[in-house]
Amino acid sequence: MISGFVEVAGSAAGTVTGELSPFATPGAALAAQAARRPAAPALAFPQSGGRLSFARWHKQAVALARALLARGYEPGDHIALLAENRLEWPVVQLGVALMGGVLVPLNTHSRREDLAYVLAQSDGRALFLSESFRNNPYLETVEALRPDLPLLRDRFVFGEAAGFAALIEDGLARSDRLPEVNPDRPAALIYTSGTTGFPKGALLSHRGMLGNAWGTAARLGVTAEDRWTSMIPLFHCAGCIMNLLGCLQSGACYVGLPAFTPEVLFRTIEAERCSLLSGVPTSYLAMLESPARGNHDLSSLRAGTCGGAEANPEVLARCAREFPIPGLAQVYGQTEASTLISCPDSDDPQRLVTAGTPLPGVEIEVADPRDGRPLGRERVGEIVLRGPITMLGYYKQPRETAAAMTADGWLKTGDLGYRTEDGRLVIAGGRLRDMIIRGGENIYPVEVENTLLGHPAVAQAAVFGMSDAYYGEIVAAALGLKAPATAEELAGFCAARVAGFKVPARFFRVAEFPMTPSGKIRKRPLQEAARQGRLEALP
């Protein structure tokens, strides 16, 4: 049995077994790059026309840190950020890091109820924000909420005369010494996607975030010559940790987009000569199927990452071949682990069918979900890990922390997978809570989803369980179709490829899937709609 895996009793991070990054803090990394390559491009946001060199990024971040300290903010204060991907975003991120604060990135899709919960639960003392984005009136909403947020002292609006710009001007006139920042203290409070109920806030350390991003960048071979763009919003851990801190530590340039559409991304890759690309399966599929792709030169791409249980190896192989993006790799991670847990080298021959080996300093086991006992290689179970990348805990949620972490630092991911004989990780079954048990047989939805995606009429697939009086559960599939197909045809297609008990008994057509902000299909609403008879059954 994994030590402490069953007797869960509180929060504990893994023991650091050596430095996993050449930098102790993000501020130290930015100071080093500003000294080594002051004029080199660090940040590019071509849609809004904003660009910064490492020296200018450092100057503005230091100014922001000094201005916040001068206003009475202290190391450890929680500073929230609500904005689309824009030039000010990484300035705030590094400014907060330099003054020893804790960055609280807010989901740009949030509406009033979501913002009210996170701003109150996080104990945010200041908020940086855009006035609005995509018809979401951030400033108007925040102003309406302020009477119920007694801890929120200030809000600094990007583009407002007395807002962010004034704060930078104030800081540029100061020369106060910045505090020493402890690498093991909290650096960010990042909220999970929250597919059911309110999200949980994972506290991440400077050391864990930097080590994660550095290990990922090393596996992808990132250098100062690279330009890394992404379909992922910066409020997501993959955006502000993997992409931004990976570029920062490597001296590469981060190329940001306010929002993803295939056409905008194609134009950006071509104009900026981007060499790396990060995204999620749904976005890669949208790029693959876009008729505009052939109108752009994407030959500068050499490597990239695709994360998520829905990462179909056949789709990734087409992307690698047709974009082309030869070093595209399937990766695996979650917010509670500071982003990635495992990542292949960009030339690993198994990079499309496995998520590679654990990042440096990370221990992984695959455990039996029922009793926590480690399983042998090639056996599906819950992925658990330990190491300095794991969260410090869920903020103000000790019960949830105790449920997720053991006393000796093992983080239970809730994801299903297995280790190959040579140690690579395969994400094989989706979420533990999504596992279907039909007549005593365990069915992993991802296997069935990937089978269905092999049918020429199927564009998207979500497989889930439905209650059944005889079997306990039966398999159901909600599909986005790009050509007509019948339930009988699809069942026959599956029956020729997977065991009979895995073949869906019910098929539904979905015009638009409910999605999380990170691009994952939300199965709970589909399951509930199917139960209530609100999904269209295929004939």
Residue that is written with structure tokens 């999605």 in the block = 515
Q: Is 364 left (phi over 0), alpha (psi -120 to 50) or beta?
A: beta
Q: 3-state class of 264 per DSSP?
A: helix
The top-scoring range by mean pLDDT among 15-24, 317-326, 495-504, 514-523 is 317-326
Q: Where are the domains of the chain?
A: 1-18+363-433, 26-360, 435-537
Q: 3-state class of 526 per DSSP?
A: helix
Q: 3-state class of 507 per DSSP?
A: strand
Domain 435-537 belongs in CATH node 3.40.50.300: no
Poorest-pLDDT segment among 12-21, 315-324, 361-370, 461-470 = 12-21
Residue 170: C-alpha distances to residues 64, 164, 199 (Å) = 8, 10, 35
Element (H, E) at 258: none
Let me know: does 29 contact 245? Beta carbons within 8 Å: yes
Q: 3-state class of 487 per DSSP?
A: helix
Share of residues in the chain with pLDDT > 90 (%): 79
Cα distance between residue 242 and residue 301, in whole Å: 18
User: Does the structure show a pLDDT above 50 at 379?
Assistant: yes
User: Does the structure show a pLDDT above 80 at 429?
Assistant: no
Domain 1-18+363-433 belongs in CATH node 2.30.38.10: yes
CATH (residue range 26-360):
3.40.50.12780
Cα distance between residue 6 and residue 435, in whole Å: 20
* pLDDT of amino acid 484: 95
**Arithmetic mean of pLDDT over the chain:** 91
Tokens coding 21: 């990054």
Taking residues 420-431, what's their average pLDDT? 88
- Give which of 455, 470, 53 is closest to 253, Cα–Cα: 53
* pLDDT of amino acid 344: 97
User: Does the structure show a pLDDT above 70 at 15?
Assistant: no
Tell me the pLDDT band of 197, cut-offs 50, 70 and 90: low
Cα distance between residue 315 and residue 312, in whole Å: 5
User: Does the structure show a pLDDT above 90 at 516?
Assistant: no
Residue 358: C-alpha distances to residues 365, 383, 384, 389, 411 (Å) = 10, 11, 11, 11, 14
User: Does the structure show a pLDDT above 60 at 17?
Assistant: no
